[in-house]
Copies of this chain bind each other. A is one copy, B any other.
Amino acid sequence: MTTERREPAYLYSERDAADRSEIARRFIETRKGLNTIVDAADNYLLKRFYNIDHNTYLEGAIPAKYKELMGLVVSAGLRCDDCINYHIIQSFRLGATRQEQEESLNVALVVGGSIVIPHLRRAYALLAELYPQSP
């Protein structure tokens, strides 16, 4: 039973995120550079994995925004800075408020414990740039 299949409607582009945040800009640029190298390898199974990965976060029974925030929670719980940056930016692009981002990070903190804190600090630095009006 699966219906996840519609592309979400982004409120902001990656470029919008990069314009607001230097941390986002450098992350997006570095990832793009490395993805070019990965794409050149043209690895069949890797491309299929990327495709499943993409489909997992589409609009479905759960709105895409919450799926990206779920991705943020598990990324923080598993302590992957690049993944945290990615899902914060994706959630931002889908209209998540700063408060929603922080509540998601709180779930990761309580589940994953204080070893999550160094990642949380860096996540808050990105949030501060993406949401400059929020305290």
Contact = CB atoms under 8 A, between A and B. Distances in A.
Contact of A112 (B3, B37, B44, B115): B115
A102 interface: yes
Nearest to A34: B121
B67 A1 contact: no
A4 B103 contact: yes
Q: List the 9 shortest-distance A-B pairs measured between CB atoms, nearest first.
A: A113-B113, A82-B118, A34-B121, A2-B44, A61-B99, A74-B77, A112-B113, A70-B73, A56-B110
Given A83-B117, A111-B114, A112-B113, 10 more contacts: A40-B128, A42-B135, A43-B106, A52-B110, A53-B114, A62-B66, A74-B111, A78-B115, A109-B113, A113-B116
Interface of A: 1-4, 31, 34-35, 37-38, 40-46, 48-49, 52-53, 55-57, 60-62, 66-67, 69-71, 73-75, 77-83, 97-100, 102-118, 120-122, 124-125, 127-128, 134-135
